[in-house]
Every structure is written in structure tokens, then in C-alpha cells.
Structure 1
């Protein structure tokens, strides 16, 4: 039984150089095809992230309004009162959020 296992191990060979080159070629082609698509989608991902952040801040404005019976003056007010974390006052793409007088959160467009 042990001799059969030893013979089986000895008869198995590793990959040949040609097989390794073919595998690397296939992986390279997949990377070449997929990377441009990922980089083109980054602006759309940032825009959707900013919309999600806007909705989250809107929820925090409502929480502030219920606790204080007033609308916060700015996003910085939410931050200082503990409704937002320290580095959570701008969108992932750098655009700022503005809270108007009725408590609606909008994205400030850059000129």
C-alpha cells in the first residue's frame, strides 16, 4: 500500500513552463479587459456615494431637530454636537453639503 502511494507521488509531475505561460497569459488578458471598466466607473461610484452620504446627513438633521426642536445651522454643527464623525462633513468626492433653513440637505456644486 505504501509503495503504491510512493509510486503515485513520484509519477505526478508539476506544471510545465508552457502551461504556466498560458495561465499567466489568460490572467493578463482578464486584467487588461477588466481594469479600464473599473476606472471608468469611479466617478459614478463617487456620485452615488455622495447621494448616500446626503441621505445619511438628512437623517442626522432630523435626529437633531427632534432632540433640539431646531434645525442645525450647518453640517459643522452636526459634527460638533456628535451627530457626525470628525472627518464626515464632505462627500467622498470632496463636494460640500449645505443645510438650508427648513432643514433640507443639498449638495453644493463646485463652480
Structure 2
């Protein structure tokens, strides 16, 4: 019994200070995380455009024609439904065979 009475715990003030510190750290970290996720999406879109450009060149070598997105999908150069960037931008192929991305 005597051992239980001598134990000390954290006071309410100490707990509030710890909670305040954690809240400040979270408030600092959240904006940095959201900023980085948009940068990752942009880089992912650039990489996807380069990949589609490679598939266009491959199609051009095989069929001696500039493809459309539909041609790339139907011939198996792109998976069905994977014609948009990770950030939602639309992929277009010009008449010259240049792949670009644009906001919808």
C-alpha cells in the first residue's frame, strides 16, 4: 500500500505542455507534406509523358504511322484506362507525334 502512495504521475500542466509541443510540430509538418505530394505528382506526370512518347516512337517504327491514344491502347502499347497523368492531367498526341500533358 505504501508503495502505491509514493508513486508520482504527470501533472495536468505537464501533459498540456507535451500536447502543445506535439501540436506545434504537426502544424509545421503538415504543410511541408502537402507541398511535396504536389511535386511528386508533377514529376510522375513528366515521367509518364516520357514513357508515352517512347511508346509512340515504338508504334511509329512498327506501323509507320503516328498513333492516337486509342491506337496505343488497342495495340497493347498502353494499358486500358491508363491515359492520364497521376495528377489528373490529360495526355495528348499531336499530328507530329509529340506527347504533351494538359489540365482537363
Alignment equivalent of 2:60, drawn from 39, 61, 65: 65
Does 1 or 2 have the higher relative contact order (CA < 8 Å, sep 6+)?
A: 2
Alignment equivalent of 2:50, drawn from 51, 55, 71: 55
- C-alpha distance after superposition, 1:45-83 (max 9, x if no partner): 2111111110000000011011111110x2121111100
| Cα root mean square deviation, aligned | 2.4
- Equivalent-residue separation in structure 1 for 2:80 and 2:63 (angstroms): 21
User: What TM-score do the two structures reach when normalised by structure 2?
Assistant: 0.70
Query: Shift in Å at residue 24 of structure 1?
Result: 8.5
Distance 1:80 1:29, change over 3 A: same
Q: Is the contact made by 2:55 and 2:72 (CA closer than 8 Å) also made in structure 1?
A: yes
Task: Give the number of aligned pairs.
Answer: 92
Partner of 1:6: none
Partner of 1:7: none
Which segments of 5 or more consecutive residues in structure 2 lack a partner in the other structure?
Answer: 1-7
Which segments of 5 or more consecutive residues in structure 1 lack a partner in the other structure?
Answer: 1-15
- Equivalent-residue separation in structure 2 for 1:24 and 1:17 (angstroms): 16
